[in-house]
Amino acid sequence: MAALVRSAFLVDAVYAQSSREYGITSQQGQLLCVLMAQPYGMGELGAVLGLAKSSVTGLVDRTERNGYVRREQNPEDTRAVQVSLTPEGRELAEEFYAETCRRVDLLATSLTDTERDTLAELLGRVVLANEVPVVFLERDERH
């Protein structure tokens, strides 16, 4: 279990480094990656990102000021808003996503292809068993 915790720190460090290089925070990077799949309501974003309502509001406010996301009226419920990527945000999200994937891939270069597949399968089972929300899409799920 210690290795699992240490690997989480390792991935967090890669994520933080990518975020810094793109001039955003790690949380903004997570937000952009989540929104690559679809727009989300504020409450949904809180659940997916594991943040309190006030934290989500602040995160969206800061990211909106940077021109990467926008609030829109939810077409299914006009009383609610949803958050979506702007064209600039989509471009940044795509670049950030690709670079972060590249860096995470490098973490496992000491493993054989079979070991990498086994690691991915085992971690996938842990994630599914714990109902972890999708924050970072698989490469083939991006659009």
Q: For 82-134, what is each residue's pLDDT tens digit?
A: 999 999 999 999 999 999 999 999 999 999 999 999 999 999 899 889 887 76
Strand partners, 85: 69
Report the C-alpha dihedral over residues 34, 35, 36, 37, rounded to 10 degrees. Answer: 80
pLDDT digits (tens, 9 = 90+) for 66-84: 999 999 988 888 788 999 9
Residue 42 belongs to domain spanning: 2-141
Average pLDDT, the chain: 90
Q: What is the CATH number of the domain that holds 90?
A: 1.10.10.10
Residue 26: name the closest of 34, 109, 57, 5 by CA: 34
Number of domains comprising the chain: 1
Neighbouring C-alpha atoms within 13 Å toward the C-beta of 42: 18
The pTM of this model reads: 0.84
Q: What is the DSSP letter of 68?
A: S
